[in-house]
């Protein structure tokens, strides 16, 4: 009988049952709670102290130690594109180095064409023709290098503009993903069962 149980155990059982009534747990937990409450009620009626203490430990573990999972949020916005900016910066430097490689030979050819060659008399038509051809080649290489630089700068500017949001665009905060409820209050059957056991404890000396 419940009267054979210590008063402090009766009070502890009543407090634990009240916590069960007020708890919010995952839906799948409540079936286990209902089964444990059946065993608690049987242990109280039979006056089995060891069994009651064991079931209280089970209830305490479920109610006290259970922590609901945090709300899931939508995919976070991509982090500040430090990696992307670094890769774009390296690409720009590669373009500039390539342009320098193209411009340097052109400049050398241009300078070489302007200097008179040793052993050639002034006004030699062959020297003039060679210089003219060299000037055209050098000019073409310089124009090509300038075009490559212009294309590289234009691509970099376009990518930066696409990456930076406009000031007029509203910043949309992440919203939690709508899904099934993570926790729920005690079902009516569990509350009735716990309250019935609490009344039985009070009738045998436990606190109301």
- Enumerate the domain spans of the chain: 2-70+184-203, 82-163
Residue 181: pLDDT band with limits 50, 70, 90: low
Q: How many CB atoms lie within 10 A of CB 33?
A: 21
* Token code pair at residue 194: 């716990």
Q: How many CB atoms lie within 10 A of CB 92?
A: 16
Lowest mean pLDDT among 56-70, 73-87, 174-188: 73-87
Q: Quick one: pLDDT at residue 162?
A: 74
Distance CA 165, CA 169 (A): 7
Q: Quick one: pLDDT at residue 203?
A: 77
Q: Quick one: pLDDT at residue 153?
A: 75
Average pLDDT across the chain, whole number: 73
Distance CA 114, CA 134 (A): 9
Residue 132: pLDDT band with limits 50, 70, 90: low
Lowest mean pLDDT among 17-26, 89-98, 168-177, 183-192: 168-177
């Amino acid at each position: 009988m419940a009267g054979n149980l210590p008063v402090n155990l009766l009070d502890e059982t009543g407090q634990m049952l009240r916590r069960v009534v007020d708890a919010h747990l995952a839906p799948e937990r409540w079936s286990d709670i209902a089964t444990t409450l059946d065993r608690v009620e049987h242990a109280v009626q039979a006056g089995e102290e060891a069994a009651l203490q064991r079931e209280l430990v089970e209830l305490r573990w479920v109610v006290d130690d259970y922590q609901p999972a945090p709300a899931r949020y939508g995919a976070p916005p991509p982090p500040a594109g430090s990696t992307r900016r670094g890769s774009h910066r390296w690409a720009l430097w590669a373009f500039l180095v390539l342009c320098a490689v193209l411009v340097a030979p052109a400049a050398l050819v241009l300078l070489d064409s302007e200097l008179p060659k040793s052993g050639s008399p002034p006004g030699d038509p062959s020297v003039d023709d060679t210089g003219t051809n060299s000037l055209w080649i050098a000019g073409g290489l310089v124009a090509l290098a300038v075009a490559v630089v212009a294309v590289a700068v234009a691509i970099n500017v376009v990518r930066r503009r696409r990456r930076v949001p406009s000031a007029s665009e509203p910043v949309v905060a992440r919203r939690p993903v709508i899904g099934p409820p993570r926790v729920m209050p005690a079902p009516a059957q569990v509350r009735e069962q716990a309250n019935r056991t609490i009344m039985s404890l009070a009738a045998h000396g436990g606190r109301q």
